[in-house]
Amino acid sequence: MVNPGNRILDDIARLATDAAGAAQGVRREVETVVKTQIERLLRDLDVVTREEFEAVREMALIAREENDKLSARLAALEEKLGKS
């Protein structure tokens, strides 16, 4: 015959295991819902992605370098015209 004390402990252990599994399922579901809501909020706010930001940043750096070169060239031409 099965010891009733062991059966109760087995039932408690099974319930605890089932509760832990259910809690993990709820946790994953909550994470999914929160992630979806945050993504929707960011889309609605029209926030740029990291890739878009980096692309525009690179374009700005290139434009700044070109602007510096053109400014130096213009200054040299103005100096040349002033000396003539």
Instruction: Tally the domains of the chain.
Output: 2
Shared domain for 77 and 59, answered yes or no, is: yes
pLDDT at 63: 99
Distance CA(70)–CA(60), nearest Å, equals: 15
Gap between the Cα atoms of 26 and 20, Å rounded = 10
Whole-prediction pTM: 0.49
**Same structural domain, 38 and 68:** no
The answer on 26 and 4 residing in a single domain is yes
- Give the pLDDT score at 2: 54
Same domain, residue pair 31 and 70 = no
Residue 72, Cβ density class (10 Å: 0-12 exposed, 13-18 middle, ≥19 buried): exposed
Say which residues have a Cβ less than 8 Å from residue 48's Cβ, sequence separation at least 6: 56
Residue-wise pLDDT for 24-76, tens only, equals 888 999 999 999 999 899 889 988 889 999 999 999 999 999 999 999 999 99
Domain of residue 69, residue span: 48-84
Q: Are residues 64 and 32 in the same domain?
A: no
